[in-house]
Structure 1
Amino acid sequence: MADDDFEKQVVVVRSRLPVAAKHFDAKDVERVAFDVAGQRDVALDLWDQARDAADEAWRECRRRLRREYGARNPHGGWSTFVLFAAVLSGAFSAALAAGLRSDPYETEGILFVLATISGLGDLIVLIAVGWRPLNWGMVRMQIGIAVTLAVAAAFQLTRPAMPVAPLVFGAGAIGIAGLILALLVRALRPAEREEIDTAINVAVDRMRPEVDAIAARLQAETLEKLSAQEQERIVALRTAALVDLAALGDPQPAVEEVVPAGGVIISAFLVKWNSYLRRE
């Protein structure tokens, strides 16, 4: 290809990108390079397959966590939501028992409901989990439940006895006992404690070889659809466009020329294929 024609194509690549650099990245540059090289359908198909593969890998990872840990699943297990509801209910219970912006005697019925939700929810989780350690995130919520219900019970002691008082005391006892149990189990079972605390990282690491295999397959399939000349043209357009963007003050992550056509799109989706990896 003549140098003038190549430069014109590089200009076309840049012109088809959004004006603001924050609205695109290297994978978008490569997608446009495919388009300019006459292989738009190949790029779009690869884009969809890589994105879908990443989504499915993360879904499968979460399914494995649910199967292995059940209620203790550190990523969205049902006990997490129950404990969160218990913490919120406990916090509102403490506020009502303290008489903040309300008369405790007028809100006794609401306090009854909230304390019941908090104590009963905590008890259900403790029964479901049994003598197995919770991850530290759930323990923090257990601390919140114990503190808020203990505060609610303490305020009940500062005023004449109310019909709801025994329930609040009982909920507070459940919260404190649950916290002691959670900490005790974690102390007595260090191996299981470490396992549950690192469960998500381990699940991601176990899934990584499968994701890498998918990435390798997509790369091979993409190269099969392109001639050697088309591969070279796409890589050259991608490289030149990224260099020009950097010179214009819109730097994108550097991409080595040895990365084959399609490699940037694949890596963008399948290297950091879940939210935990993207935060690293």
Structure 2
Amino acid sequence: MDNYTNDNTARRYRAHVSILGTTQLHLRNPYIIAWWSAAFPGFGHMLLSKYLRGYALFIWEVIVNVKAHVNSSMIYSFQGNIDMAKEVLDTRWLLMYIPVYIFGIWDSYRTTVDMNKIHLLAEREEHPFNTFTIGSLEINYLDKRNPILSVMWSLFIPGLGQLYIHRILTAFFIIIWLVVFYYFSHVQEAIVLLFLGHVKEATTVLKPEWLLFIPSHYGFAIYDSYINTVENNKLFDKELRKHLCENYQSKNFRILKGHKVK
């Protein structure tokens, strides 16, 4: 494929390939993005490739959630112990937590709607973009990957699916925070005790307020790797189709009412 650079000669680009990953515009469901922001603030923005905003909201969620004991309160609520759920909450942190949580949902929804409009305009413009990049640290290029493999690797360890499709920033972020959640929740220690048959000790060693972060983390890693593999494959097909039409298809080639006319 031709090697273009995104040099601001177009008003909008459909995608950009860099050594850190492939960033592209594509249609997204605003409600799904908002749902991921509700599941864990920052995830919705990371799905939109708004990394700085996503990372800030994610770190805010972890710090303030732990300080306000939100997860601990949720666990007591699940157990039907409403009085303890109220007592464990730290309102000094909780009053800061709620506005930012709502903002994350609202902003991710709003941003998705805007980016969908930009995507449609970029598709109409059809300006060329770079499809290959090489540097001293990495090589990245548009190609096709298997979405099932992305899901499989994400199930083993969240972040591996992102590495498979070359989403370096998201991969490192997911893996680093997975280690943090594993360490503070003692989940791997509990798994070892469970395999040894020490069920009571395995339950006792767990830290539920940190354990509750892990399901959302796994779910996001699986969804993000799958959906981006699918969208990258679509982008590859579009770019290859355009390249073949421009360079190999006869200028006199026409299709009228299902019949080829040369």
Q: Same fold (TM over 0.5)?
A: no
Larger radius of gyration: 1
More strand by share: 2
More relative contact order, 1 or 2 (CA 8 Å, 6+ apart): 1
TM-score band, normalised by shorter chain: under 0.3
